[in-house]
Amino acid sequence: MGGDKWNINDNWNDPGAHPCDWYGVYCDVGNQIINRITMLDNNLQGAVPIELWQMPNLRILDLSTNAIDFQFEGISECSSLKGLYLSDTGLSSLEGIGELADV
């Protein structure tokens, strides 16, 4: 997804950094479980890995205004997701998004 070319990539390329310390990643206080990823207009590029959907505690994902594309295969595993913001992306298909019930 072009991490070296992102507008802001604080700690993403630091192998010693905890994911909760990465720019745009927000975690529950105390248990350090990722609950929100917000990378709005950050020059992300390419395909978003489907492993993203393996985060059952993710509640909000905002990747708007980036040149990215998605596959929604497995999105049902992201059972806590309540907000999915993908406007102004390279999204080419919504196939599979129906697996997610509550967004």
Summarize pLDDT for 20-64 with one digit per residue, the tens: 999 999 999 887 899 999 999 999 999 999 899 999 999 999 999
Once rounded to an integer, what is the mean pLDDT over residues 78-87? 94
Banded model confidence at residue 2, pLDDT cuts 50, 70, 90: low
Mean pLDDT of the residues in the chain: 90
**Rounded to two decimals, what is the model's pTM?**
0.90
* CA of residue 29 relative to chain centroid, distance: 19
